[in-house]
Amino acid sequence: MARKYVSKRNLEFMLYEVFDAPGLTRYPYYAQHNKKVFDLTLAAALKLGKDLLNPIFEEMDRKAPYLENGRVKVHPAVRTIMAQFGEGGWIAAKFDEKYDGARLPYLIADCCQFIFTAANYSASVFPGLTAKAARLITSFGSPEQIATYVPKMLGGKWQGTMALTEPQAGSSLADIATTAVPTDQGHYLMRGQKIFISAGDHDGVENVVQMMLAKIEGAPAGVKGISLFIVPNQRPTTDGGLEPNDVTVTQIYHKMGYRGAPITELSIGEKNDCRGYLVGQAHNGLAYMFQMMNGSRLSVGMAAIGISTAAYYAALDYARQRPQGRLVSDPTTPQVPIIAHADIRRLLLFQRAFVEGAFALAMQCCLYADLENALEGEAKEKAALLLDLLIPVVKTYPAETSIRSTSQAIQIFGGYGYCEDFPVEQHFRDTRIHTIHEGTTGIQGIDILGRKVRMKNGKAFDLYLEEVGRAIDQARAVETLKPYAQRLAEALDELRQITAGLIARGEAQGSRAMLADATLYLDYFSLIAVAWQWLLQAITADKGLAGHPSKANRNFYEGKLLTARYFFHYELPKAMGLARRLSEGDGLTLAMESDYFSD
């Protein structure tokens, strides 16, 4: 039975009503597209999700990858997925025409990625990672490297990976110990160990290409000595063949969720015969990697939203069908569907407010990414700054909130939700990875408060306040939205004060004092950002209602408005407690010495 895991109507609402995706085609950069192309692309993505990815959602979890004779065996469908995503142009969707790409805007391509993650997160990772790895090569690699690797990767024949983490270097990339020794043949000899490498090997492709961080012998200490290398599991030979490149899978991790994708431990150069190919300039690897990081972090947020969206629709469907309890006390009357109960509606409203609010924020970030591509000069810089500022928000708010959202989906199912009979327990397990990979929540908190709100003398933050202020002004013109405009205006004003107070604390007491509650600051910032997005959606829904909509559309817009109100009445008030804490500068966590945790 086909199961609903995304709402086409909501995708169209976001792309065509809230954000004007077709408007992007006015710019030369996206001029080859039109709304028709976008519609066809979305329809194709929905079909791919339905026919190829979702039917094996549970199966990929139950039959997890395993290591056999040194090779990782994945679900046989992975080969089909990589082939179809390659041949169908999905891996190359955002690449330029010169790489046979479609140069789709983020708004469209990431909507498709969202559909894939909602259909089957583990499956979506194989092509998604490959695109990101290929992007590093097209951005910083030599023409020869591009010619050797990119067509195979974008064609779905070779898997791409990001090989950063090592046993002693997780959050602290400064401590990477994998070494690269130059040879007189141009390549480097690599040696080291990498852990937690997603898709580090598997039999769904002919080859795996690791984009690997390592240090060239004699490099400066710390992050300034990190270089980026292409390290294929099988290296191309001069006659067009492949030969082993001394990359060994030493372990496959047994994970709680996200089990369809193999996460591997790799031993590099055990026989001193692992060749790495330097990408770009030596010692510049971390900078290259970080230029890709916005996309990676946005993808993580999008995946958390996708998984939670699928869980939400499963819960909604169940809530409408499951009879339990009554609104009247007469036990001889029939039971009502549980969606009649206020508490079930609250659980559903929370999920919807989260998934649609966070998705709107992700779409907003995509729009900034598209404008950065399409525009020049000051306008380009503005888009880039806003995107930079919001990346820790759009990564972490979904990642953290998805734990609660998928948990509440389980709650609606009661005991059934805790069992494998329904998909929600898997969604809950799958999404738990997202606060960890691509920078933990703690790292994101430090990123926004330690760097982003202060960068360029606070320019990004000022631009952001203007953007939100503009939405508030629009909402003030709508009678029913005035109270919400007012609530957001007050919250925004407080955000400005709290931020200034924290920066002042940093100047007076140093960055450790300023950043002690950085994660709470990120939570706080996020609530206001998502409230902004709900105000934008409410403005659009109000317009929709004014336009004599069909019954279905009226229900949709009414639902949007009530969900917006839910966010303002149930979620935004959480900012109050956070603001109170953030305004206290008592250094409590700094005072809590390790010894005080004894016993």
Q: Which residues are catalytic?
A: 438
Q: How far apart are the first and last CA of the chain?
A: 53
* Nearest-approach distance from CB 359 to a second copy, in angstroms: 14
Nearer to a second copy, 155 or 357 (CB): 357
CB 449 within 8 A of CB 443: no
CB 425 to a second copy: min, Å: 4
**Residue 10 or residue 148: which is nearer to a second copy going by CB?**
10
Q: Helices 377-413 and 424-431, interaxial angle, to 10°? A: 140
Per the DSSP assignment, residues forming a β-bridge with 193 are 267
Cα 376 from Cα 367, distance rounded (Å): 15
Residue 163 has phi, psi (to 5 degrees) of -110, 85
Nearest to 460 by CA among 442, 441, 444, 447: 447
H or E segment and range at residue 499: helix 482-509
CA distance 133 to 145: 12
Q: Which residues make Cβ contacts (< 8 Å) with residue 422, sequence separation at least 6?
A: 314, 318, 413, 416
Pick 214 or 385: Cβ nearer a second copy: 214
Tokens 């939700």 correspond to what residue? Answer: 417
Nearest distance from C-beta of residue 349 to a second copy, angstroms: 6
Q: How many CB atoms lie within 10 A of CB 203?
A: 15
Query: Can you tell me the distance from the alpha carbon of 552 to that of 545, in angstroms, rounded to the nearest whole number?
Result: 11
Closest of 92, 88, 80, 170 to residue 130, by C-alpha: 92
Least distance (Å) between residue 570 CB and a second copy: 6
Q: How far is the CB of 114 from a second copy (least distance, A)?
A: 16
- Cβ distance to a second copy smaller for residue 175 or 203: 175
Nearest to 458 by CA among 520, 395, 500, 508: 500
Q: Name the minimum Å distance from CB 547 to a second copy.
A: 17
